[in-house]
Structure formats: structure tokens, C-alpha cells
Structure 1
Amino acid sequence: MDLKQLTALVTVAEAGSVTGAARLLHLVQPAVTRQIRSLEQELGVPLFERTRQGMRLTAAGTVLVERARRALTELERARAEIRPEPGPVTGIATLGLLESALDVVIAPLVDHMRRHQPGIRLRLLTAYSGHLQQWLDQGDVDLSLLYNLRSTPSLRVRPLLREQLWAVAPPHADLTMDRPVPLSDLVARPMVMPVAGHGLRILIDQVYARAGQTPRIAIETNSMHVQKQLVLAGSGWTILPAAGVASDVAAGSFSAAPLDDPEATRDLVLGLPRTSRPAPAVEVVAREIVTVVRALVESGAWPSAEWLDGTGPGRSPGGLDPNR
């Protein structure tokens, strides 16, 4: 198999049709078809099911596309990093971002990178912390924001900040930031919760357990957006990290207050795999995201957040020792 075949494979999978892939690749349709057929003949298995709705990956095709996409990304990264003379760092870095932190961090980070590191192309993937950690282990992302995680044999982390969890309710509940809500006030209320096993749900369950209480769960969902919509619909209150709902509270869409008795917080960290030294572009992004997040905390733009000083002897300015 060669790069043209792998590129055709990935593009057809993403476009869902040979016609769409040919348009993206600036090739005629028969040329793309030949690449796919020659790859199938070489491997001895079908990679796509041809349907009226388009090209659908077989089980074998799904496996190969995942590997091919990773290989093409690595080659593209190598091509971007090779330069004849010293100069600004160039390359590609794939960064994992938590859904609950997007509203606060995404625009400042992209603007900062555009102004200070124009040679680096960012790829941003969003998911929950557990999925992001898995993607780090699999090599699908180069670095990621995670929470409540310590360094492991495969992963090294740099603590960034500690933020409060808020009780979130419709506006008429009149929750205010200067009046924390005791967890006991939530026990009798129907709650909209993340599904069991979700990282935030585990954290919330730990808070209830410390208080010797059991939540009254009305409904569960794996979507923070759905959590918010259900609260507005009157299905119950919810609990969210400050960053995930601060802009909505400021706009008057919700009222919110910090949880108290016991206080509930989460620690946000930056994680990188230990498997090898990061590419130069990844090292730069690691440093820059620490700079951006710290500025957001110190300016108050990241609400209810306390900066965690992760620097120390033997560490880089970004708090991560690339040789460890």
C-alpha cells in the first residue's frame, strides 16, 4: 500500500462517497475508485460496503482507516517540522479540550496562538476527560486538558487550576455567587446528572458520599448541553464546573452558586504521554496553553478558579519536563 491509497481511503471514509472524495482530492472519480479497489485487492478484504446512501466502512475498513489517519498525520507533522534553516517553530499539534472548559479557553487560546505561534497548526478535539485520556494513550491527541488526574506510568501531568463546582438552577431560583448552597439543600430536589461512570458524575458522587447524602436523580445524560436544556425545561437542578456555565449565568439564562458543606472542586491539569519526547510544536503548545490558562485565572476570566503552581526544580517553564 502507498500514500495515495491511504489518502484515498481516509478521504472516502470522511466524505462518505467516491464522488465527494474525488472533489476534495482534485481527482477524477475513476482514479479514486482504482485506489480503493487496488487496496482491497492487496489486502484481500472489502473495505467499504457500496450502498445507495454512499460508501460505508466495513469492520476491516474501520480498523485500517484509524491506522491510516494516524500514519498520514505523523507524516504531515514530520513534513511541517522539517525546515532547512532555524526559524519559528512549525508543525501540527492535536490538543484535547474538555467540553466544560470550551467557553472560557477556546477563543483566547486560538487568538494567542495566531499572534504568537503562527507557524503551528492546531487541531482541536473535544470530549470528556475519560475519552481524552484514552486518546492520549492511543496517540490520537498529543496533549490534553484533563481533570482530577495524577501522573501515571504512561502519562505525565502538570496541575493548572482548581475550580469550584456550582449548583445550577433556572433564573427564578435566585441563586447568587455570594451565597454558597449547602449540599443538604439539594438532597430533596430532583437532579439532572451526568450518566454513571462519567468523570464529572464520579466527582459529584464523591461529594455526596462525603456528606453522607444520596442525590435524588430525575434524569441522566452524557451531554452538558442537554443538562442545561433540561434545567431550563424544569426537570431539576444540576451541578457543573464554573467554567461550563459562567457565561450562561452572566447572560441571565441560569442562576448559580458554589456548592458548600462540603465544598466541591475539580483540579484541571495538562497531560502529555510519556512514551517519547514531544515534537517541538507540541512542546510549544504545552507552554502556550499554560500561559493562556494562567492569564485567564489571574484576570478573573476563569471564574471561581485558583491557580496551582506546578513549576518546580527540574521542570520546564511550562511545568512539564519533556525528558521525563
Structure 2
Amino acid sequence: MDVKQLKALITVAEVGSVTRAAELLHLVQPAVTRQIRTLEEELGVPLFQRTRQGMRPTEAGEIMIERARRALNELERARAEVQPSPGEVTGIVTLGLLESTLDLLAEPLVSAVGEAHPGVELRLMTGYSGHLQQWLDDGDLDLSLLYNLDSTPSLNARPLVRERLWAVAPVAAGLRAARPVAFAEVAAHPLVMPASGHALRTLIDAAATRSGETMDVTVQTNSMDVQKQLVLAGHGWTILPGLGIAEDITNGTLSAAPLSEPDIWRSIVLGTPRYGRVPPAVEVVAHELVRHIDTAVSQGRWPSAQSHSSHAPDPDM
């Protein structure tokens, strides 16, 4: 098994065609076919089903493709780390960001890292906190923002900030940042909610239990943008982190207010693997990320957020 075979495996899987894969790899088609066949013979299992629609990975093929991607990524990272210019931090860093933080952090962070450390290649991934944690555990991420997580046997969780959740409604509802709205008032409306199992939904369900309210959930979705679109279309109110609706409030497309009775807070942490060497490139990206978050909170650009150092631990977090 060699790197050329792994590259052929991944490319055929991505394009579904040996002919197209050969073009992308700048090889003749028989060479790619031979690489795949040799790999299958070595493993003793078929990796693809040959169909009229193209090459489809078998179950064994899916496993090999996933592992091959990780192996090639690690080789690429190693090459970047061991061939730096004198005094220059180099390497590939894959960072996980929560969907609600993208507008605030993604572009400024890419610009800051690019300017201060041009030898660092930054790769951004987004997803639910649960997905990001799994990717971090699996080694697909080097570090990630997560929420409501304590350190685990495999991960270190560094608390960074906590933020309040907000009720979000159409403009006609007249919600205002300066006037918190009771959970009971929110529960009196049809609600567009995160899907069950989502960490944000877990916080909301717990608040409903504490307040003794029953929620009329009309729609569930796994997308913050879809939640907002459905509220705009009149399907109900929703509950989101303040950061996720800051731009909508500024633009006047939605109205929103912090939740109260009870308040609902989420804690955002920086998750990193507990074991293994931390490459310098990962260290500089973590430093820039924390710096941007601290600056955003201190400048008031993160609605109703508090840096971890500015408050005592909340028993309900």
C-alpha cells in the first residue's frame, strides 16, 4: 500500500469514474485501474462496485477512503511542519467553529493568521457542537469551539465565554434588547426549534421544565439560518444565541430580547486533544482565536456575552 494508491482510491471515490480520476491525477486510465486492483488484492476485498452510474464504494471501500484521507492529511501536515523557513511557523491547522460564531470570527481570524503567520494554512469546519466534538475526538480537527462541555478523558476544555440565549420574533412583535422577555411569554407562541438532540435544544427543554411551561413546537430544524427564515415567514418565534441574530437586529429584519425567568446561558469553550504534541501552528491559531473572542466581548460586539474571567461560575450552566 503506497501513497499513489491512496490518492487513486480517494480521487475515484470523489469523481465516481476511473477515466475522470486519471485525468485529474495526470495518469493514463490503466494505471489508475491497476492501482485500485492492486489495493483490492492486497486487502482481499472489493473497494468499489462497478455500476452504470459509475464507481461506488463498497462498505469496505468507505472505511478505506475515510482512513486514507486522514493518512494523506497527516502526511501533508508533517511535510508542512518539517520544511519551515528559519523562524517561521508553518503547518496546516483545521479549526472547528460553531455556526453562530462564523460571521464574527471566520474572516477576521483568517486575515489575522494570514498576516502574522503566512506559513500557516488554516482550514475551517463548521457544525453542531456534538459533531465538532466527535471530529475532534476522531482527529479530524486540531481544535474547536464547543459549548457546555467540561474536560473529558480525551479533550481539554478551556472556558472562554458565556452568552445568553434570546427570544427571536418577527419585527412586529417589538422585542427589544433592553427589555428581557419571560420564557412563559415565548412559550405562548408557536415555536421553531432546533431539532431534538441538539445541545441548544437541550438547554431550552431544561428551561421549559424549570419554568413549568409546555412548548408548542411547530417545526424542528438543524439549521440556525432556517430557524430565522421560518420566523421571518411567520411560522412562530424561536430561541437563539445573541451572537446568531446580532446582524438581523442591526438590519431590522428580526426583533429579539434576552430570555428571562429563567435566564438561559451557554458556555463556549476551546476544545483541544488532551494527548499528543501540540504543533506550533496550532498554538498560534489558538492564540489568535482567543484574542479575537476577548476583543469582541470587550468591545460589545458579542451580545450579552461575558468573558469567562469576568464572572463566577453559573450553577445552571
What TM bracket, shorter-length normalisation? over 0.9
Instruction: Assess if the C-alpha contact under 8 Å between 1:159 and 1:268 holds in 2.
Output: yes
Which SS does the other structure have where 1:164 is aligned? Answer: strand
Q: Which moved more, 1:100-109 or 1:27-36?
A: 27-36
Counterpart for residue 275 of structure 1: 275
Instruction: Assess if the C-alpha contact under 8 Å between 1:155 and 1:273 holds in 2.
Output: yes
Q: Give 5+ residue unaligned stretches, structure 1.
A: 311-324
Counterpart for residue 320 of structure 1: none
Q: Which moved more, 1:4-13 or 1:81-90?
A: 81-90
Name the TM-score, length of structure 2 as normaliser.
Answer: 0.93
Counterpart for residue 144 of structure 1: 144
Q: Which moved more, 1:17-26 or 1:203-212?
A: 17-26
Query: Deviation of residue 252 (structure 1)?
Result: 1.9
Quote the Cα distance in structure 2 between the aligned partners of 1:59 and 1:286.
37
Counterpart for residue 313 of structure 2: none
Counterpart for residue 120 of structure 2: 120
Counterpart for residue 207 of structure 2: 207
Q: Which moved more, 1:42-51 or 1:3-12?
A: 42-51
> Residue deviations 1:246-273, cap 9 Å, x none?
1122222211111111111111110001
Opposite residue 66 of structure 1, the aligned amino acid is E
Instruction: Assess if the C-alpha contact under 8 Å between 1:190 and 1:236 holds in 2.
Output: yes
Counterpart for residue 155 of structure 2: 155
Instruction: Assess if the C-alpha contact under 8 Å between 2:177 and 2:258 holds in 1.
Output: yes
Counterpart for residue 70 of structure 2: 70
1:174 aligns with 2:174: yes
Opposite residue 23 of structure 1, the aligned amino acid is E
Instruction: Assess if the C-alpha contact under 8 Å between 1:112 and 1:292 holds in 2.
Output: no
Query: Deviation of residue 84 (structure 1)?
Result: 6.5
Distance 1:26 1:300, change over 3 A: farther
What is the 5 A alignment of 1:184-263?
184-263=184-263
Quote the Cα distance in structure 2 between the aligned partners of 1:279 and 1:11.
29
Distance 1:20 1:300, change over 3 A: farther
Q: Percent identity?
A: 64
Q: Which moved more, 1:11-20 or 1:257-266?
A: 11-20
* CA RMSD between the two structures: 1.6
Instruction: Assess if the C-alpha contact under 8 Å between 2:180 and 2:259 holds in 1.
Output: yes
Opposite residue 214 of structure 1, the aligned amino acid is T
Instruction: Assess if the C-alpha contact under 8 Å between 1:165 and 1:239 holds in 2.
Output: yes
Query: Deviation of residue 309 (structure 1)?
Result: 2.7
Q: Which moved more, 1:13-22 or 1:222-231?
A: 13-22
Query: Deviation of residue 14 (structure 1)?
Result: 2.3
> Residue deviations 1:71-115, cap 9 Å, x none?
111111111000366321100111111112112211111111111
Which SS does the other structure have where 1:186 is aligned? Answer: helix
Counterpart for residue 13 of structure 1: 13
Opposite residue 4 of structure 1, the aligned amino acid is K
Instruction: Assess if the C-alpha contact under 8 Å between 1:95 and 1:125 holds in 2.
Output: yes
Quote the Cα distance in structure 2 between the aligned partners of 1:4 and 1:164.
50
Counterpart for residue 26 of structure 2: 26
Q: Which moved more, 1:9-18 or 1:184-193?
A: 9-18
Quote the Cα distance in structure 1 between the aligned partners of 2:294 and 2:51.
51
Which SS does the other structure have where 1:309 is aligned? Answer: helix
Counterpart for residue 318 of structure 1: none
> Residue deviations 1:196-224, cap 9 Å, x none?
11111001112222222221111111122
Instruction: Assess if the C-alpha contact under 8 Å between 2:143 and 2:271 holds in 1.
Output: yes
> Residue deviations 1:177-199, cap 9 Å, x none?
11111111012211111111111
Quote the Cα distance in structure 1 between the aligned partners of 2:29 and 2:299.
54
Counterpart for residue 294 of structure 2: 294
Name the TM-score, length of structure 1 as normaliser.
Answer: 0.91
Query: Deviation of residue 39 (structure 1)?
Result: 1.1
